[in-house]
Amino acid sequence: MASSPQMCLSLYRLLLLTISPLRSHSFFFPSQPSSPCGPGRSWAVRLDAGSVTAGCSLERLAHSVAEEVGLENHGQIGQLEGHYLLCQGVEDSADVDSALDRNPHVLWHSQEHILRRSKRSVTFNDPKYPSQWHLHNDVKQGMDINVTGVWERNITGVGITVVVVDDGLQHTLADIQPNYSPEGSYDLNSNDPDPMPHPDGHSDNHHGTRCAGEIAAVSNNRFCAVGVAYGAKVAGIRVLDGPLTDSMEAVAFNKHYQVNDVYSCSWGPDDDGRTVDGPHPLGKAALQHGVIAGRRGFGNIFVVASGNGGQYDDNCNYDGYANSIYTVTIGAVDENGKRPFYAEECASMLAVTFSSGSRQLRSIVTSDWSLQSGTGCTDGHTGTSAAAPLAAGMVALMLQVRPCLSWRDVQHIITYTATQHDADAQADWGINGAGFHHSYKYGFGLLNAWRLVNAAKVWESVPFLVSYQSPILKTNEGIPEYPKTLTHTWNGKRFRWSSTLKLNDWLHFILRTNSCY
């Protein structure tokens, strides 16, 4: 990297050397000086085109004006007619500015100064940034969230708060403290405002801190890593370190919901392939209330991880947090863009982003707690737990450019911008009723921060959610096992479904739709 400007420079010189003999012959004025003007030794002038007499030219006028004030004419400035660059020769001439002031052919003049310009590229001094492949993959092309161009445009999540609902947040860490939002935080396990994690027997209450680092780890502080939205604020709600009840969950989902814009939840029911569970009545009501009343009515964005029960054939449709229409359900792909062994499949998967894979593949580098055996930094964050916070960070970037996106806009933009990948594998990509590709493995595809932010900028809001509940329609047909589907036509619309449940029983089936297609 460091050698490339050098290379450009030598190439440039080479070119100049080859073309300069030609140049001096073709120039109109043989006396044309070829050395560039030194800093502070050049003046830009605008000449009065009206004072050019017949048979004369602006070029000649520029030449004579230059001579009168003791400068050399270096020719027209680009395509700007009447504008010339005049330079000082080897010996300093007298007061150039007043000579130009006095000259009747000069309408305007200005001595040139060096302008400071820096290239729009981001570099960080954080020691672990180079190994954060999910942000910029130099090894496997395209296998990253494509966020660096967003940062180069100064979009880093400023003004947005993401809350991590988890086992606590060590907000005293160098990578968290400057971005920590005490206003959005709470501790429901100890019932106090401070979500500091508690040391435990297995030294594993580091989970929330790791997720928070992925979202908003401070950049350029010579410490550990960089978050996806390193300009955003991050809060913590400690709720997973102790017995959890429906009412606690309900409080968590709406805690400080005018401060917190995005809720990142990397947890769910047991991933054993046998548990069908989800939010209970209060938790459900809180999710619904959050999208209606949170974020001043635009709705909180609830990002949930799709679950790590892949090896037990668990399916995220069994998980009521994932299959809720109020949540953004995020699955994982490994550094090759493939579904890792632990990732679950389901129809309610909205999109995927990067995380760990098999042993040879890299995991996610992020902040870590520094309690017990923690060092404040880890390269071992794994599972769909690591994918959901990356999505939450990307949503923060979207909300910075368009603070008034509704919770439904965010879901729509994800479906529009997620990119299909791994098309060859048995990814079972299909086209849904609205014409979008979707797969049970990858949802609508890979999240791409650049596409998300650009779509957010120009997005036209979708209408409010409308709900309609049909009367009970008895079909007396069994729902066939996947991949066979049952097709049923109602009100002129065709509905198709199949079951991935391994239950041999009747299902009470409720069809809900929030689409206006």
Ligand X SMILES: *[C@@H]1O[C@H](CO)[C@@H](O)[C@H](O)[C@H]1NC(C)=O
| Residue 213, CA distances (Å) to 216, 376, 447 in order | 5, 10, 19
Looking at the chain, how many residues does it have? Answer: 517
**Among 184, 307, 357, 389, contact with Ca ion (rule: CB under 5 A):** 307
CB burial of residue 148 (10 Å; 0-12, 13-18, 19+): middle
Residue 175 is a binding residue for Ca ion (CB under 5 A): yes
Q: Does 95 bind Ca ion (CB under 5 A)?
A: no
337 forms part of the interface with ligand X (CB under 6 A): no
| 314 counts as binding Ca ion under rule CB under 5 A | yes
Our finding on whether 317 is near ligand X (CB under 6 A) is no
Q: Does 166 bind Ca ion (CB under 5 A)?
A: no
Of residues 156-175, which lie at the interface with ligand X (CB under 6 A)?
A: 158
Yes or no: say if 459 and 417 are a contact pair by the CB < 8 Å rule: no
Catalytic residue among 385, 409, 421, 439: 385
Q: Do strands 42-47 and 83-87 pair parallel, antiparallel, or not at all (unpaired)? A: antiparallel
Which one of 411, 451, 452, 456 is in contact with ligand X (CB under 6 A)? Answer: 451
Residue 126's binding partner among Ca ion, ligand X, none (Cβ under 5 to 8 angstroms by kind) is Ca ion
> Among Ca ion, ligand X, none, what does residue 187 contact (CB within 5–8 Å per kind)?
Ca ion
Helix (H, G, I), strand (E, B) or coil at 342: coil
Site of tokens 């290379």: 7
Say how far apart CA 173 and CA 353 lie, in whole Å: 26
Residue 72 near residue 66 (C-beta atoms within 8 A)? yes
Scanning 37-45, 57-65, 444-452, 502-510 for contacts with ligand X by CB under 6 A, the matching segment is: 444-452
Is 505 considered catalytic here? no
Greatest Cα-to-Cα distance within the chain, rounded to the nearest angstrom: 102
Can you tell me which of 393, 448, 453, 459 binds ligand X, judged by CB under 6 A? 448
Half-sphere exposure of 453 (CA within 13 A, CB side): 26
Catalytic residue among 207, 421, 437, 438: 207
What is the nearest approach in angstroms of ligand X to the Cβ of residue 144? 9
303 forms beta bridges with 264, 328
115: left (phi over 0), alpha (psi -120 to 50) or beta: beta
- The helix (run of H) or strand (run of E) holding residue 100 is helix 96-102
Reported as type and span, the H/E element at residue 108 is strand 106-111
Distance separating the N- and C-terminal Cα atoms of the chain: 50
Which residue's CB is nearer to Ca ion, number 279 or number 309? 309
Note whether 41 binds ligand X by CB under 6 A: no
* Lookup: tokens for 421: 């990948």
- Rounded to 5 degrees, what are φ and ψ at 145? -85, 5
Is residue 204 annotated as part of the catalytic site, yes or no? no
The residue among 154 and 336 lying less far from ligand X, judged by its C-beta, is 154
179 lies in the site for ligand X, by CB under 6 A: no
Rg of the chain over Cα atoms, rounded to whole angstroms, equals 31
Closest distance to ligand X from the beta carbon of 496 (Å): 32
Question: Which residue from 166, 187, 249, 261 is in contact with Ca ion, where contact means CB under 5 A?
Answer: 187
Among 68, 83, 103, 149, the residue binding ligand X under the rule CB under 6 A is 149
Q: Site map for ligand X, 229-268, x if CB under 6 A?
A: ----------------------------------------
- Concerning whether 385 is annotated as a catalytic residue, the answer is yes
User: Which does residue 451 touch among Ca ion, ligand X, none (CB within 5 to 8 A, set by kind)?
Assistant: ligand X
Catalytically annotated residues: 166, 207, 385
Which residues make up the interface to Ca ion (CB under 5 A)? 126, 175, 187, 190, 192, 194, 218, 221, 223-224, 271, 307, 309, 314, 319, 327, 329
Residues binding ligand X (CB under 6 A) = 146, 149, 154, 158, 448, 450-451
